Structure 1
Amino acid sequence: MTQNALIDLAEARAIAAGEHGDPFSVLGLHEIDGDLVLRCFRPGAETIEVLEEGSGKALVKLSPVEGVDSLFAAKVPRRRKRFSYRLRMTHGSDVWTETDPYAFGPVLGDMDEYLLGEGTHGRLWQALGAHVVTHEGVDGVHFAVWAPNARRVSVVADINGWDGRRHIMRRRGATGVHEIFIPNVGDGMAYKYEIIGNSGELVPLKADPVGFGSEHPPKTASVVRDLRGYEWKDNDWIGKRGDLQRFDKPISIYEVHLESWRRVPEDGNRALTYHELAQDLVNYAKDLGFSHIELTPISEYPFGGSWGYQPVGLFAPTSRFGSPDDFRAFVEACHAADLGLIIDWVPGHFPTDPHGLGRFDGTALYEHADPKEGYHPDWNTLVYNYGRTEVSNYLITNAKYWLEEFHIDGLRVDAVASMLYRDYSRNEGEWVPNVHGGRENLEAIAFMKQMNEAVYGADPGIMTIAEESTAYPGVSAPTSSGGLGFGFKWNMGWMNDTLRYMSEDPVNRKYHHDKMTFGLHYAFSENFVLPLSHDEVVHGKGSLIGRMPGDDWQRFANLRAYYGFMWGHPGKKLLFMGGEFAQPSEWNHEQSLDWHLLEYPAHAGIQALIRDLNALYRSLPSLHELDCVAEGFRWIDGGNAEESVFSWVRNGKDGSAPVLVVANFTPVTRTGYRIGVPEAGRWSERLNTDAESYGGSNQGNSGEVIAGAVAAHGCEHSIEITVPPLATLFFEYCGE
């Protein structure tokens, strides 16, 4: 029998051209008319010999298939239908052995195939991606990717010279999944997928949508990462975090962009590694009394200027700071310090980079085909097709992946408003109404509900937070009552109104008094976080201290008073890095924060204030227990626009002492200022933002005042105090 009789010539040519859609039906060991035939395609080999695994005994030499380059075949002496073998190859004087990837059966099981076909695999990352495994007794990596409209998919890497003909994958029936086990490779291998679309076009090389690692940008290949075997030591934290992340707990978040938080100038101005951050950042946030660190997105992203908000590798912690296990060590360090870790998560859109998800298999697979539905004009990005079951499942399982594999404590979901509305940032005629003719994105709404149900169902101790800038109802309400099911929502209205007020000259603030009070009209309609985030210190907005009016002393005093107002206001707290020491320059993602400023008393004073505000917030239950319900707040005087003075009481649960907050937003000292209080007796001055230790003028009330039976502001008792200029005061009721 000639070698050409051992293979159909048309199939042989398709194999050599890399166009065969089912190479497993041709390559490897097959029984033909009672004979065992082994076929191998191996560019670069001049001879190939079959060796018995274990003994190394030569069984047969494969012969070239005439007229087809790099394809070899031979009958194998009858032993049994399947046996383990290796291939010894030569090229000139070079001799090497390889294990044939086409000698192995499928890895994915029937249940995986069923769930993948349905688009309901609850742990998609355990089926797809690149997994270091032992398969049929051999160590290697199992690759699996969803590309239902591809004619063929190949793994390309250094091991095959990035030749897409070498490791064409096995198609798994109607699931749209392609898989292959490549023996004798492992952790650290860079790879991509080469895909031929259904119409025969070669798609740009793609990174793995479920890849666990990535090359350091600007390189864009995925990297095999073995996620097995990490020995977590944070059981104590995991056991108690559910109690620490409830609505009635003091949640104060330090938002950080890792690449620019602190750099190492003596080492090329590089960013800190995950291990260095586990020391420096964790200790810093702990010292300042924050309860959580929140990271701008750490899913791999190609363009540093996106700050991570245009991710390509949703399952890959960015390699800029280390490996996935290095990131786990950072998470663990947070937990050892009793700090929760929140990451920003971006399921709203993805970039158009050619190695990304766009037209992944030659079709609009993850995105909508119609740009009126599938393109974001603001960001030049693509919109996920939430109505496609597989896409929704991909995103939901990605959320679960971060919580399960990396012990993340919460997800802050970016740009929720852009997901909720089909006409977001679009003009008339540029968007497609929903099935009812409305503007709501019903599929995205359903996705967010399912996502929250899935992650809270898996672990009710975690939290999800929505960045949502509209008045969409019930963002943080349970899905059972028609809400979206988030735990918290950023209060963007509060942030915009109060910053606008603070930017006014104090002489004009009386005309804008409502901007500080309006937020209380809706403060308890959601479970709010008060955010002073990265968005407020970029794109020409300047810094927080830069928005404050007046001379240097007044600018710092304004910022101290504003922070006092924020920590005394209902709602959890979030502050972006640099704000805690009043960095005057706008945030620059390409350089470190201006840490040298802490040598100056005014900046160190702001930092000391943040530390003390966090301590006060934790220690006084009335400042956090009823953050999200109206019973926790009572105006004393919210209408004194003429003097720009605000006063209110924060109440806690039964047994918690009420706290009076007084804020003066003019540079005028007000002595003998009478304020009604709900209780007679001693009121201890717990914090004064005008204290000398913070950089203030040190005017105050000697630590305590006594409420007498003088009616004021609708209360039977009142106190008479000195209200310092541009300052916020906190008084705790101490009893008769």
Structure 2
Amino acid sequence: MKLPNLIKNDSYLEPFTSIIIDRLQTAKDKEQEILRGQSLSDFAQGHKWYGLHREKNQWVIRDWAPNATEIYLIGEFNNWQELPEYAFNFTGSGNWELRLSQEKMSHGDLFAFSIYWEGGQGKRIPAWANRVVQDDYTKIFNAQVWAPEKEFKWKHSKFQRSAEAPLIYEAHIGMAGEDARVHTYNEFRTNILPRIQQAGYNTIQLMAIPEHPYYGSFGYHVSSFFAPSSRFGTPEELKQLVDEAHGMGILVIIDLVHSHAVKNEVEGLGKYDGTRWQFFHDGPKGEHPAWDSYCFNYGKTEVIHFLLSNIRYWLEDFRFDGFRFDGVTSMLYFDHGLGKAFTCYDDYFNAGLDQEAFSYFIMANRLIHEINPNALSIAEEMSGLPGLATSYNDGGLGFDYRMAMGVPDFWIKLIKEVSDEKWDVGNIFYELTSKRMDEKVVSYAESHDQALVGDKTIIFRLIDKEMYFSMRKDQPNLAVERGIALHKMIRLATLSCAGGAYLNFMGNEFGHPEWIDFPREGNNWSYAHTRRLWSLEDNKELKYCWLSDFDREMIAMAKKDKLIETPEVNWVHDHKENEVLAYTRGKYLFVFNFHPTQSLVDYGIPLEASKYKIVLNTDEDRFGGQNRIDNQLIYGTHPSGDANSQHYLLLYLPARTALVLKKQGK
């Protein structure tokens, strides 16, 4: 294998050349071993064989359960009895099959498997089930025959991703409404999709789509990998949501959890055929020490088949536009990355990396782009493994983006630990722009993680309890004024320095005041904090609308001249004592005065001879500012001496204000 560009582009990787090449070659060998001449997309269609299907006017059900000795289909149609005519036949290689005449089952019937193994028996929800429902009263889960007479008709079947950088709106269907209950796909489509479109975001990242038994897991303890969560509605209603988003020009991606699975045995994959090692590692390697879940065995061909088929299923059957892979760090390292700082390259290239997971990711990303070259593949990964978001041909794992997880951590640490007067603006610029040059990242100031109970959103850290008492426009409050000013500046700085894409969690754009606390025993199973209070944003007498209006203008500005698509963010000036930071990106000049009290008159920003006009100003009264700057002026640079000397753009910079100026002319 020739020297990958990953190493050519980073001389610090040269000592690890043999390790990197060996890993890539091992992944290639593994792929060839399992494919045996097939393409990845041909291999990844287990969902078309396993599970329940109609074939030639009969039902055919297939499953893989190598440790099973008997399998019965039980359900409403046979009074949940193990009858001989519903017994599966063993077909070899751990596979089982049952064929039934069409009148034996109907659309909507509930069913499950009764699986026997040496020394035991258990009811199981089929691993390949595409519809799983929970009884409202008994709380028991069952699979459901889902074969509607009319096939869903896509209205926007030719939709393709545009060349725009992803502006991602992270959302959760169930908590997207105002009521204290679980909301639906239809309600999201009707009420929330138009809001996202008006806000200007071009990508939606949906959480908690694959079925999960515990609502409070946020969808990260998956039980049925091929079943969209029925608590939000039907598969067709989810498809309609995706279809209408496509009609608005909006991509839809989902959180994909292939890092682990819930331990539940009836409604999950835990000990599915009586063994834990069917899908998962046995012993300590098979249990996640922090998540109380089982870890997949990525060395088994059948497990890779299951997971790759899952990717193809979501891309083709629901036409999702890609995935945000959850828990990538946990998959890549034997110790799951727990308690490790990853401070040097040695941490990435010692014996701690799991080659089987490494190989799986390469196959997963190759499959995604084989099926849909325009699909998005995003890694939630905190170690910073070199090559993660680099193409396989260049020596990487093939993700399109990695989450810039250090950015929200940086903002939280800064707000919590450093007084406003001591913010180091040079360090702010470094933290926001620090990334590998051969990778793209999704930058964000906060996601759902910072909104969960036990943590705080940025707005809550800045304003705290005053949000409950002083958010009317006719209620002056210094803490609120500070919070609103910094909230805008933090988000503008994060977006304008974004290394390829930008993300916001729903409601945070307008400073949603509630944390997220799912129903649980500790809160008496309350839904009070699993909702979004859109009425706060809509009420023009409250200050929340200032933040949403600013966010909308900020997103529009980024889209207008393809700001994030311009890769270079060029430092221009920073001054630690004045807390002034300036940088350019494309035609735009960004100037921040983070100082809490010091306004600056005729502050000089060193530039070449040029003219600028303000296109976004956090101090406008429509954004909750004090309207201290004239946006109509054309600002021209002035030489410090003769015509050939350094030019300066002289600006009035009020305290806690940011300006975006656009260069005029060529």
Match of 1:122 among 32, 41, 44: 44
Query: In structure 1, what residue type is equivalent to 2:578?
Result: E
> Which position in structure 1 is the counterpart of 2:579?
644
Determine whether 1:625 maps to 2:565. Answer: yes
Match of 1:554 among 458, 462, 482: 482
Greater RCO (Cα-Cα under 8 Å, separation 6 or more): 2
Match of 1:698 among 606, 614, 627: 627
Determine whether 1:331 maps to 2:250. Answer: no
Query: In structure 2, what residue type is equivalent to 1:200?
Result: G
Determine whether 1:597 maps to 2:525. Answer: no
> Which position in structure 2 is the counterpart of 1:235?
157
Query: In structure 2, what residue type is equivalent to 1:554?
Result: R
What is the deviation of 1:140? 4.1
Query: In structure 1, what residue type is equivalent to 2:495?
Result: W
Q: What is the alpha-carbon distance in structure 1 between the residues aligned to residue 411 and residue 246 of structure 2?
A: 33
Determine whether 1:490 maps to 2:409. Answer: no
Q: Contact (CA 8 Å) 1:544, 1:584: kept in 2 or not?
A: no
Corresponding residue SS for 1:592: coil
Match of 1:201 among 120, 141, 150: 120
Q: What is the alpha-carbon distance in structure 2 between the residues aligned to residue 120 and residue 150 of structure 1?
A: 27
Query: In structure 2, what residue type is equivalent to 1:616?
Result: M
Match of 1:157 among 45, 69, 75: 75
Q: What is the alpha-carbon distance in structure 1 between the residues aligned to residue 37 and residue 81 of structure 2?
A: 32
TM-score (norm: length of structure 2):
0.83
Per-residue CA distance 1:56-79 (angstroms, 9 max, x = gap)? xxxxxxxxxxxxxxxxxxxxxxxx
Q: What is the alpha-carbon distance in structure 2 between the residues aligned to residue 624 and residue 141 of structure 1?
A: 51
> Which position in structure 1 is the counterpart of 2:293?
381
Q: Contact (CA 8 Å) 2:432, 2:494: kept in 1 or not?
A: no
Structure 1 residues 500, 512: closer, same or farther in 2, change over 3 A?
A: farther
Moved over 6 A (4+): none
> Which position in structure 2 is the counterpart of 1:433?
none
Q: What is the alpha-carbon distance in structure 2 between the residues aligned to residue 292 and residue 710 of structure 1?
A: 44
Corresponding residue SS for 1:362: coil
What's the Cα RMSD here? 2.6
What is the deviation of 1:164? 2.7
**Larger CA deviation: 185-194 vs 373-382:** 185-194
Determine whether 1:172 maps to 2:91. Answer: yes
Q: What is the alpha-carbon distance in structure 2 between the residues aligned to residue 186 and residue 271 of structure 1?
A: 28
> Which position in structure 1 is the counterpart of 2:317?
405
Q: What is the alpha-carbon distance in structure 2 between the residues aligned to residue 333 and residue 376 of structure 1?
A: 38
Determine whether 1:416 maps to 2:416. Answer: no
> Which position in structure 2 is the counterpart of 1:251?
166
What is the deviation of 1:212? 0.8
Q: Contact (CA 8 Å) 1:260, 1:588: kept in 2 or not?
A: no
Match of 1:676 among 600, 606, 629: 606
What is the deviation of 1:556? 1.0
Structure 1 residues 181, 718: closer, same or farther in 2, change over 3 A?
A: farther
Match of 1:538 among 445, 452, 466: 452
Match of 1:521 among 434, 445, 448: 434
TM-score (norm: length of structure 1):
0.75
Per-residue CA distance 1:166-223 (angstroms, 9 max, x = gap)? 41111112253433335311321211111111x2311x31111111101136331111
Q: Contact (CA 8 Å) 1:690, 1:696: kept in 2 or not?
A: yes
Where structure 1 has 5 or more consecutive residues not aligned to the other structure, the ranges are 1-113, 429-435, 652-657
Determine whether 1:223 maps to 2:144. Answer: yes
Determine whether 1:586 maps to 2:519. Answer: no
Q: What is the alpha-carbon distance in structure 1 between the residues aligned to residue 440 and residue 107 of structure 2?
A: 43
Match of 2:130 among 212, 223, 228: 212
Per-residue CA distance 1:486-534 (angstroms, 9 max, x = gap)? 1111001122113322445544433585244234232634211013210
Aligned pairs, number: 585
Corresponding residue SS for 1:671: strand
Q: Contact (CA 8 Å) 1:378, 1:425: kept in 2 or not?
A: no
Structure 1 residues 510, 278: closer, same or farther in 2, change over 3 A?
A: closer
Where structure 2 has 5 or more consecutive residues not aligned to the other structure, the ranges are 1-35, 341-348, 464-477, 519-526
**Larger CA deviation: 490-499 vs 169-178:** 169-178
Q: Contact (CA 8 Å) 1:677, 1:715: kept in 2 or not?
A: no
1:8-157 map, 5 Å: 121-131=43-53, 133-135=54-56, 139-157=57-75
> Larger Cα Rg: Structure 1 or Structure 2?
1
Q: What is the alpha-carbon distance in structure 1 between the residues aligned to residue 637 and residue 302 of structure 2?
A: 67
> Which position in structure 2 is the counterpart of 1:372?
284
Whose strand proportion is higher, 1 or 2? 1
Corresponding residue SS for 1:494: helix
Query: In structure 2, what residue type is equivalent to 1:141?
Result: W
Query: In structure 2, what residue type is equivalent to 1:183?
Result: Q
Q: What is the alpha-carbon distance in structure 2 between the residues aligned to residue 543 and residue 119 of structure 1?
A: 41
Per-residue CA distance 1:379-421 (angstroms, 9 max, x = gap)? 1000000000110111111011111110101200001000110
> Which position in structure 2 is the counterpart of 1:663?
592
What is the deviation of 1:233? 1.4
Structure 1 residues 553, 142: closer, same or farther in 2, change over 3 A?
A: same
